[in-house]
Amino acid sequence: MLKGIPAILSPELLKVLCEMGHGDRIVIADGNFPIGLVGKDPIIIRADGHNIPDILDAILQVFPLDTYAEKPVTLMNLLPGDVGRVATPIWDTYDELIAKYDARGGETVGHIDRFDFYDEAKKAYAVIATSEKAIYANIMLQKGII
């Protein structure tokens, strides 16, 4: 055990966060994310039984967002058929959590199309597989410097 480290951050996840360099990205994936799609390049970390907001809050306590990137946080756009039909209240939760640790708050968040998100996830340093049930909950963070 370590002092000041959120218990939800497993030793494996802490190691990965430490290994990541400036500009590297990590995906926190919801329960519907096709983990097999990303192949063998990113490290896969299982966080079954956990939701994304709890993991995001813990990560942001120790993980600087990239201040050199205009949008160091990336979310998946709604599919055209879901626009105006599907609510994404988890995005508001993300904005609140980000604002706790980064003065730019929601300004850090950008959106890309679904398949572009999947392509970017394949290039990420790691993917955390959660049990999050909210749809459109996948989030990608780009690491900054201290």
Q: What is the mean pLDDT of residues 13-19?
A: 97
Please report the domains of the chain, with CATH numbers, ordered by start residue: 20-142 (3.40.1650.10)
pLDDT tens-digit map of 90-114: 999 999 999 999 999 999 999 999 9
Q: For the chain, give the mean pLDDT.
A: 96
User: CA–CA distance from 130 to each of 4, 26, 89, 95, 117 (Å)?
Assistant: 23, 13, 18, 19, 17
Positions marked catalytic: 22, 66, 118
63 CB contacts (<8 Å, ≥6 apart)? 17, 141, 143
User: Would you state the pLDDT for residue 26?
Assistant: 98
Q: What is the pTM of this model?
A: 0.96
